[in-house]
Amino acid sequence: MSKDKDYEFIQEGLSLHIHVGNSDEQDALRQLSRRFTIRTYKEEEELWNLTTSSGQLHFILSGAFAEYLIDGRIAHLLRFYPKNRFAYSEDLILYSSKPKTYSKCLVEARVASIPAGTLAEYLMNEQLGSRLLTSLIELSMTEYRNTTYEMLQTSGIHRISAALEQFPDVLDLIPRKELADYLGISRASLFRSLKQIDNG
């Protein structure tokens, strides 16, 4: 895939979160997309970790990532970042603080990234900046609402169905133990529910 095509995908992704009204704003969005750098991540490589000191805004061009929160020595799965989604550490990007989570690659991925400093410059100086910042905050809140919705489902099978609706490839990418922990159910309940789903 050509870099030009990649930048088109980035611009399309940005346009889903920022409404542009005229040609000047479209040009500004196009210029912002060109400030992303693109690289390939292997399975288990991290977008950020607990020692990362400078944040980046990432756009997943292909592949998938998961974000984890450390509680003592146990890593708890928080959310997924599939293709065509933005991923970032809220601590680093929004609060300029040490990250409490880390994000790792689940399957080989291509990712476009822009440093927080470059992004901050854009947020301060460009007309679309405030809209992008608002959109990033709303995106974060939406992710947590979706997770909360999944957890409010009363049965294991409904929780799994809700998770599959949000992230259809989850069963192929996440170990069953992690998935059970994420859904707040036992592994036995997970396997029973998956069997019910398979049996239709």
User: Quick one: pLDDT band at residue 49, thresholds 50, 70, 90?
Assistant: very high
The more confident residue out of 40 and 188 is: 40
pTM: 0.79
* pLDDT tens-digit map of 137-196: 676 666 655 655 555 555 677 778 877 887 888 888 888 888 888 887 888 888 888 888
User: Is residue 94 within 8 Å of residue 56, measured between CB atoms?
Assistant: no
Q: What is the CATH number of domain 3-128?
A: 2.60.120.10
Delimit the domains of the chain by residue range.
3-128
* 135-145 per-residue burial string, b: 16 or more CB within 10 A, e: under 16: bbeebbeebee
Distance between CA atoms of residues 82 and 87, nearest Å: 9
Distance between CA atoms of residues 126 and 29, nearest Å: 10
Alpha-helical (H) ranges within 16-128 are: 23-33, 90-93, 116-125
